[in-house]
Structure 1
Amino acid sequence: MKMKKFMMSIALAGALLVAPTVSEATVKMGDRGASVTELQQTLASKGHNSSSNVDGVFGPMTLRAVQSYQLAHRISSPAGNFYGVAGPATLSSLGLSASSSSSSSSNSTAVAGASTSSSSSGIISTARSQIGTPYVWGGTTPRGFDCSGFVQYTFAQNGKSTPRTVAQMWSAGTRVSSPSVGDLVFFETRRGPSHVGIYLGGNQFIHAGASTGVTISNMGSSYWSNAYLGAKRL
């Protein structure tokens, strides 16, 4: 009898170890679906989101709402790695479960022909979480970035080291004829490689612009298409 109880205890412990928990849940910039809608509704009920911004799309307004809630509840701050990402601590504080958040789907890598490796997904997730961060010359933290500082920080958060300057990144990278998600795209805004961003797919890239801060831009626009130098992979 004692042996039977012992075996049942082991089985129960094993089940608990493999059961999904809220710590596995993350809702972030670019996600869509019921989990985002629930997040938006809950933030609105707590006064951190507009009731008109409940559309199931995690965009800039939802990002600001999450950041507002995190600051108010001291969950994260602009210096935190997950500022603007509704991770385990934020979801738990809001009373949201892992099961609802696990159904979210990201559109950041759902592009035909684009790389969908876990490495690039992590890089894109980190990059998107910094949308709205101001531009600061020489900046390398979420308090403010310049273009290469933003790339360096984003890659470092995913275990990859990069050179510090745009020119050094250009020299260190391997040239690719067509960028995949997570590759670096370079531009000549003054003589030589002088601006860098991270390719998102769909002809879009995320970067720290001098006049915009961290934002997403279209490489097909007249300005960026004329300044485009090429793509490289680190």
Structure 2
Amino acid sequence: MKKQLFTVAATVGILFFSYSVQASAHELTYKVQAGDTLWKIATSNQITVQDLQSWNNLKSNTIRVGQEFSLIAPHSHYLSKSYVVQSGDSLWGIATKNGLTVDQLKSFNGLTSNVIHVGQVLKLTSEGDSKLTAPVVEKTLNAEALIAEGKKYVGVPYVWGGSTPKGFDCSGFLNYVYGKVGVSIPRTVETIWNATTPVSSPQKGDIVFFTTIKPGPSHAGIYIGDNKFLHASSSIGITITAMNDSYWKARYLGSKKVKLN
């Protein structure tokens, strides 16, 4: 009898443990709890530790309470058909994360403005059930077309707040040029930084970031290859500059890849 009770208790304990480390279905992310290990999180969510490390750019097995992990491979995940709004969310961020446009997201939910509130459940398709959709097809950036578009504006003057060929600031230039090749990005350097994916070294079409007027990202340009970037210089306007230029090299923060819808 004692053996049976122990077996039942152990089984319940296993079920409880499995539940406690499994991610919520609508987010496909997991927040680290006290006592978690990468092995526990990976096993309970039916993925490998190697995948978990790869998808989250982890260099070791060290994790901390409150840290959030993606449980899906970039650009190949299955989308839930609903999403619960979290603190700090925006329609743009939710749409981008789920391979949608803001207009699609508003249409699916009958929204007439961009106002959302924490706890609100948003549909991610035109259907209302909770099944998973087909996998998102990864889009690729036409870097050569992007660079060719950007080079058209070399010599255009710098204008604070400018986002047209009459004059650009650095983020206005990026927003305009990426938009011309069908890629939507945020308007300010800081929000572009937060919405893009780090890369170890830049490839053509990636964005390179610098710190200038304040700590953190405050200037950015398009990497065009040959260790050069295209950007809106406050003193020159739209120009091409070497990455090893003494001024910019000392202020380089890193490179990031734009997430494509």
Q: Structure 1 length normalisation: TM-score?
A: 0.50
More relative contact order, 1 or 2 (CA 8 Å, 6+ apart): 1
Task: Answer with 1 or 2: which has the greater Rg.
Answer: 2
Q: Which protein has the bigger helix share?
A: 1
Q: Structure 2 length normalisation: TM-score?
A: 0.44
